[in-house]
Structure 1
């Protein structure tokens, strides 16, 4: 593995690299099987023992991955940041090289045309989402993961954040997601969107002291940023993978918000008690008396954002005729309704 090599501008199309990586014989570990997963931002290639992630040449918010040197830096950032919660999982950076013959090769000699994040492959049945879907949770596993997460939060320093900045940032996020969801192309109910977003903004205004207290007590940290059940491995010790790596601001959040996001993911898999247990263990170990209304606020906010991300798939040629994304957006919006109706009016 030549992770210290510099990125180059050798022209090879993404399609050529992806097609090369879809052939199991091209991998140095000689796998018996190869599984290929496409996400919005990446291609993931699963061999018997490893996972290789290739970044897509996409633009998302402030992230522009069209240039190889940017993808190189982004991969390095992802490895560095994920070491904090999954040190032994993230192995390093592996180049996809081009030889003088024009053939591609993973690692070894040649000139790099793109980069792979190489990870240890985690057993599918050890992931929290798999355990929830198959109804095979084991209490010791959940407790161990909840304690590890609480300990991680305890070690994190508080972010340099102030009340005005926090309130402005949250309000801007809610207004932006409102505008997005009101787009006619999605066909979402405008009255419901307005009801939810107006209620969230009013809750912020009427509970300013609560938000200020969270900041003053150091509960705003640089968090994982994308803590979904599929990113929680119930191993011993537990690991938490795929943290958000491309925009630090998006990772600055109240611990209560990140726990609410995880709880939302558990509820979407019909296991509300699991998410509640993670919150309970954190509150006990940190002696952090998070108000129940704050959890509801953040669950609602995050449900709106998941609705937006689901509906964004309808803009892509590959997914625009797939009804599941619209249905998923509707489901998240209904979850947001459920949460907001429990907030004090």
Structure 2
């Protein structure tokens, strides 16, 4: 994958006008203030009660949002997919309109110029990452979300996957992470990059049957399961799934659970991963060996390190330290998992 591109310059004026409108509290009934969050692929506008997401007209190797029709299609797909795990949060898709006089509005008169995903705003202090960082999460708190995810995976139909193709996909991912992180321009230590990723690839070579057996358990999952996408309301909410590329959502459930557990471990709550996997095993009877879980954790840590280091292409050199430190924190986790893999081998 290439580094994220800038928005198409032909759309720049339209984007600026849309963002300016959506930043104004007067755009929303009863709103007193609007908080704006920008990501590579969208803007999110948060009022006291609601959230509206506007997708950027960008093109990547793995998606193309440069047309209004594509953004509508993906907005609708985002709502459909996320309703699987977040009852009552995704309220629908709203039109952004422009009148004959050029006035922009949400669901106003005139032509449709863009589409918005409309959500209920979730309480920030109940997000899983916020609870861990605040020292407010204790064992047992995540059991409801563990049960919810376990039921979701148990009810999801499997997707026919060739064992050799699955192993090749895993190997290609490891190679891609390693190649990106070893670029000398980023200043990462080669030994730290290789420590976990090399050991994970050795397990792929050493235990082909282990991975071949997992190919029969692939489902269409969440695709981006992280603590900031889990809200511990009652019932718990899992949101912001990866909607734009189905291939990225085709996962072994234990891989996705290992990813969430790895992220929680980095934040200081390693017990979360064990609770997630225990609930899954109880619900499905699927108890993968520890080496498989550490393999998946290693690969996910390598992915997150790569995504962190890619930010160096987009920020001033004075800001590199933050992203390098974040990448190293993931690589230290990968190295820890790799050490366990080596001991088990």
TM-score strictly above 0.5? yes
Work out whether residues 10 and 113 of structure 1, in 8 Å CA contact, stay in contact via their aligned partners in 2: no
Q: Using the TM superposition, give the Cα deviation of residue 252 of structure 1 relative to its aligned residue in structure 2, in angstroms.
A: 0.9
Which runs of no fewer than 5 residues in structure 1 stay unpaired?
Answer: 1-8
- Residue in 2 aligned with 1:13? 14
Equivalent residues in 2 for 1:126-275 (5 A)? 126-137=126-137, 141-216=141-216, 219-275=217-273
- Residue in 2 aligned with 1:340? 338
Work out whether residues 150 and 280 of structure 2, in 8 Å CA contact, stay in contact via their aligned partners in 1: yes
Q: Using the TM superposition, give the Cα deviation of residue 320 of structure 1 relative to its aligned residue in structure 2, in angstroms.
A: 7.1
Given the superposition, is the C-alpha separation of residues 291 and 180 from structure 1 closer, same or farther in structure 2, using an over 3 Å criterion?
same
Distance 2:63 2:73 in 1: 12
Residues 44-85 of structure 1 deviation map (CA, whole Å, 9 limit, x = unaligned): 111111110111222233212122221111111111111111
Distance 2:284 2:335 in 1: 30
- Residue in 2 aligned with 1:309? 307
Q: Using the TM superposition, give the Cα deviation of residue 108 of structure 1 relative to its aligned residue in structure 2, in angstroms.
A: 2.4
- Residue in 1 aligned with 2:103? 103
Residues 273-300 of structure 1 deviation map (CA, whole Å, 9 limit, x = unaligned): 1222111221222221111111111101
- Residue in 2 aligned with 1:6? none
Distance 1:247 1:54 in 2: 18
Q: Using the TM superposition, give the Cα deviation of residue 188 of structure 1 relative to its aligned residue in structure 2, in angstroms.
A: 1.3
Distance 1:320 1:78 in 2: 36
Q: Using the TM superposition, give the Cα deviation of residue 336 of structure 1 relative to its aligned residue in structure 2, in angstroms.
A: 0.9
Q: Secondary structure at the match of 2:85?
A: helix
Residues 91-125 of structure 1 deviation map (CA, whole Å, 9 limit, x = unaligned): 11112111122121111212122211000111112
- Residue in 2 aligned with 1:5? none
Query: What TM-score do the two structures reach when normalised by structure 2?
Result: 0.91
Equivalent residues in 2 for 1:24-103 (5 A)? 24-27=25-28, 29-103=29-103
Does 1:23 pair with 2:21?
A: no
Distance 1:13 1:205 in 2: 51
Distance 1:66 1:191 in 2: 40
Q: Using the TM superposition, give the Cα deviation of residue 137 of structure 1 relative to its aligned residue in structure 2, in angstroms.
A: 2.4
Q: Secondary structure at the match of 1:245?
A: coil
Distance 2:32 2:256 in 1: 38
Q: Using the TM superposition, give the Cα deviation of residue 12 of structure 1 relative to its aligned residue in structure 2, in angstroms.
A: 5.0
Distance 2:317 2:31 in 1: 31
Residues 229-278 of structure 1 deviation map (CA, whole Å, 9 limit, x = unaligned): 11111122212101111111111111110011000110121110122211
Q: Using the TM superposition, give the Cα deviation of residue 339 of structure 1 relative to its aligned residue in structure 2, in angstroms.
A: 0.9
Q: Secondary structure at the match of 1:20?
A: helix
Work out whether residues 195 and 334 of structure 2, in 8 Å CA contact, stay in contact via their aligned partners in 1: no
Does 1:324 pair with 2:322?
A: yes
Equivalent residues in 2 for 1:113-132 (5 A)? 113-132=113-132
Distance 2:59 2:325 in 1: 25
Q: Secondary structure at the match of 1:137?
A: coil
Query: What TM-score do the two structures reach when normalised by structure 1?
Result: 0.91
Q: Secondary structure at the match of 1:17?
A: helix
Q: Using the TM superposition, give the Cα deviation of residue 199 of structure 1 relative to its aligned residue in structure 2, in angstroms.
A: 1.8
Which runs of no fewer than 5 residues in structure 2 stay unpaired?
Answer: 1-9
Work out whether residues 139 and 271 of structure 2, in 8 Å CA contact, stay in contact via their aligned partners in 1: no
Q: Using the TM superposition, give the Cα deviation of residue 326 of structure 1 relative to its aligned residue in structure 2, in angstroms.
A: 1.5
Work out whether residues 52 and 118 of structure 1, in 8 Å CA contact, stay in contact via their aligned partners in 2: yes
**How many matched pairs?**
334
Q: Secondary structure at the match of 1:59?
A: coil
Q: Using the TM superposition, give the Cα deviation of residue 343 of structure 1 relative to its aligned residue in structure 2, in angstroms.
A: 0.3
Residues 16-59 of structure 1 deviation map (CA, whole Å, 9 limit, x = unaligned): 211221111112x2212211111222111111111101112222
Work out whether residues 97 and 114 of structure 1, in 8 Å CA contact, stay in contact via their aligned partners in 2: yes
